Amino acid sequence: MKRRTWLAAGAGTLVAGFSTGCSLPVIPRRPAPSLDDAQGWVRYANGRYTLWLPRVEMGQNIATGLKQVACEELGVGWDEVIVRLPGTRDFAPVRATVGSDSMASFALPLAQACAALREAVAAGRTRGMLEVPPRPATALRAFAAGAARFVGQAPPLEHGEAIVRGRPLYVADVRRPGMVFGRVLRAPASPELASSLAGMSEAAARSVAGCVAIVRDERLRLGNAEGLGIVARTPRALERVEAALDARWQVAGGFEQADIDAAMDIDRRLQRGALAHTPAADRLDDPHGVWDVDLRFDIPLAAHAAIEPRAAVAEFDAGRSSLQLWVGSQDVFYQRDVMARRFGLDPERITVHAHRVGGAFGGKTLCTVELEAAVLAWAAGAPVKVQWTRAQEFRHGFHRPPSSHRVRVRLREGRIDQWWHAFASSHILFTNAAMPAWMQRFTDFAGDNGVARGAVPPYRARLRRVEFDLVRPPVFCGPWRGLGAGPNNLVIESVIDECARRAAQDAVSFRLQHIDDPRLARVLERAAQQTPRASVPAASVRQGRGVACGIYKAMSYAAVVADVEVDAAGQVRVMRLVCAHDCGRVVNPDQVRAQCEGNLVWGLGMVLHDNLPVAASQVAAATFADAPIPRFTDVPPMQVHLVDGGDAPTGAGETAIVAAAGAIANAIRDATGHRPGRFPVRAADLRASDA
């Protein structure tokens, strides 16, 4: 086989070429939006316009942003456009809602379709399909310079009132006639380990009032873990059935946290020689010689921690020849494709209905609870709702992979001369939550662009070498907000800060001397200019300031300044975060600021909270008490300054994560003299640094 037969790495997909009989996962399709697609997104009938949203709404409020573009281009009032969350039968397949690309990829085609529709309606042509001619952004009202009615403003949020009033928006709100409730039980072990049912008290479970079905079906397998389905009339009955069933499991193998740490240990891997993948491959001068900066960083597993546990409702027709599925997924067309494969149905006989998603962050891209609901509905002959518990979210979902980093830098005359960043992490795009080990090994020929994201620093150096190894861990890992950009930039910005200290230079000016991109320099200068010094703290409190900046996916820019205080017990309190952000043309400033604020909180979590514990061969967390996230009391005042230089709109959903964590870590270094290298930062480390 030629390598290109197997891989289309740039698109993050696998293509045909496997032998007949292999059991392959369904691979998500990622079609780029076209003008032909866009004509199906906006429609006119009976004097009203309908926008069929080509993106999943998951709290980023893209429904509001794309409606602003549509209203601006159509030249109509806000209430004249109705936004609909679509099903798979409403328009042609679109790519998953991932990568902060909704404005970058969908705003321009939508505006072009709206322009064509506006002209057709004005000419009295109100029936049939339109041909959408390509037009440059400068020829469109939505992106024209000067005052705008909607673009650049902050109109009422779509779904805003409905959320406040508790109206049904989410898949957990779905009710179907005759609906029953399901759950899939699995061994108390990671699905990466082979596990199977060893015994159960089936007769006792079936005797429970409200029991509908006990289901054993190979399609309930998750990874290497067998699933045992139960269906009951009510959620309370479901609990009683599970208790009476008393399922007993057999698990092959085991692991602890120490096993994951050893597999990721970057120093052990470097002792074996060069790593497999090199995003930057300069040959270094004397790699075994003396380095001016030599630091190690270890970043643990972290959960997506979406507030909404995933759920789905499935309903077959009487002959099981068609399926309706209600989901809270980032990719409704992928859900349809999986169902078609697993049930042998024509995709046209499957309708997947999108719902607003209560947080996803990359974690609701695969087909998990959706397949469970469909299998149980198939077995029960009735509509079935399955909703995961918080413990299932932690134990059966995939997570931010752990990573271990070693960075070495040589300076010459106060400038970076050689940069060497080596790290180990697990697959992100080619996640083990979807790919068997043999298949993942083939993807290793191409590396994993998700792991590599942000690993090459945006700073000038004579020689730069970045290399990494991919490790398949015994827990599921995959896409997490920003993919590798968050951990990689936390490491890079920590090292840059240490280089500035070694060169006895100001952190901002040192960065500016190494930056070639004027947009990155601009956000850094803006953040630094907007941040006056804080007041003098109490004598027992140490105060520090940190700065960091970065580029997300070569399209959006952010810089953050953080102020922290560290008390005598080593407890860190972030006092203020200031962010300058450039994502090109800003369609909705309030929502861009909201996305920045979310990323700032994620950065705070990366440094001070995120740690998903592992013990006894599984993720050990069952509640947020076991895997805490930042609380309101942890979140400081935040200022976000939007820098709009008139460039085309890019992405805001993940950008600020490239700078948020680094700025906080650097502020802790400034306050305590201790360079955080083990995350989350522990109070004991900071107390020791003061000894």
Q: Where are the domains of the chain?
A: 35-165, 171-252+310-387, 265-303+399-689
Please classify residue 152 by burial: count the beta carbons closer than 10 Å to its beta carbon, then call 0-12 exposed, 13-18 middle and 19+ buried. middle
Tens-place pLDDT, residues 487-539: 999 999 999 999 999 999 999 999 999 999 999 999 999 999 976 666 666 67
Strand partners, 638: 577
pLDDT at res. 23: 63
Contact (CB, 8 A) for 541 and 567? yes
Phi, psi of 231 (to 5 degrees): -135, 135
With bands split at pLDDT 50, 70 and 90, how would you rate the model's confidence at 616? very high
Average pLDDT over residues 422-448: 91
pTM for the full model?
A: 0.93
Contact (CB, 8 A) for 586 and 592? yes
Average pLDDT over residues 24-39: 84
Note the helical H segments in 515-632: 518-529, 589-608
Strand partners, 74: none
- The topology (CATH level 3) of 171-252+310-387 is Aldehyde Oxidoreductase; domain 4 (3.30.365)
pLDDT at res. 537: 66
Report which of residues 535 and 646 the model is more confident about.
Answer: 646
Average pLDDT over residues 348-358: 96
Could you tell me which of 39, 37, 90, 59 has the C-alpha nearest to residue 652? Answer: 59
Task: Indicate the residue type of 288.
Answer: H
pLDDT at res. 11: 32
Q: The tokens 């993919």 sit on which residue?
A: 483
Q: State percent of the chain over pLDDT 90.
A: 86
Strand partners, 310: none
Phi, psi of 450 (to 5 degrees): -70, -40
CA-CA-CA-CA torsion for 133, 136, 139, 142, nearest 10 degrees?
Answer: 100
Sign of the dihedral through C-alpha 259, 265, 271, 276: positive
Look at strands 211-216 and 228-232 and give their pairing. Answer: antiparallel
Look at strands 13-14 and 7-8 and give their pairing. Answer: antiparallel
Mean pLDDT of the chain: 92
pLDDT at res. 29: 77
Contact (CB, 8 A) for 546 and 564? yes
Average pLDDT over residues 621-648: 94
pLDDT at res. 444: 85
pLDDT greater than 70 at residue 688:
no
pLDDT greater than 80 at residue 19:
no
pLDDT at res. 345: 96
pLDDT at res. 9: 31
Q: Where are the beta strands (DSSP E) in 118-194?
A: 180-185
Contact (CB, 8 A) for 595 and 652? yes
Could you tell me which of 345, 390, 347, 342 has the C-alpha nearest to residue 367? Answer: 342
Contact (CB, 8 A) for 405 and 420? no
Q: Which residues of 285-318 are buried (b: 16+ CB within 10 A; e: fewer)?
A: eeeeeebbbebbbebbbbbbbbebbbbbbbbbee
DSSP assignment, residue 454? T
Give dist(CA 130, CA 41) in Å, integer: 12
CATH architecture of residue range(s) 35-165: 2-Layer Sandwich (3.30)
Tokens of 310: 């995933």
Same fold, 171-252+310-387 and 265-303+399-689: yes
Average pLDDT over residues 206-222: 97
Tokens of 305: 């921690």
Look at strands 463-470 and 415-425 and give their pairing. Answer: parallel
Phi, psi of 360 (to 5 degrees): -145, -55
pLDDT at res. 408: 98
Contact (CB, 8 A) for 40 and 89? no
Q: Length of the chain in residues, anyone?
A: 691
Look at strands 323-327 and 350-354 and give their pairing. Answer: parallel
- The topology (CATH level 3) of 265-303+399-689 is Aldehyde Oxidoreductase; domain 4 (3.30.365)
Average pLDDT over residues 104-125: 94
Average pLDDT over residues 5-18: 30
pLDDT greater than 60 at residue 322:
yes
With bands split at pLDDT 50, 70 and 90, how would you rate the model's confidence at 689? low
pLDDT greater than 90 at residue 334:
yes
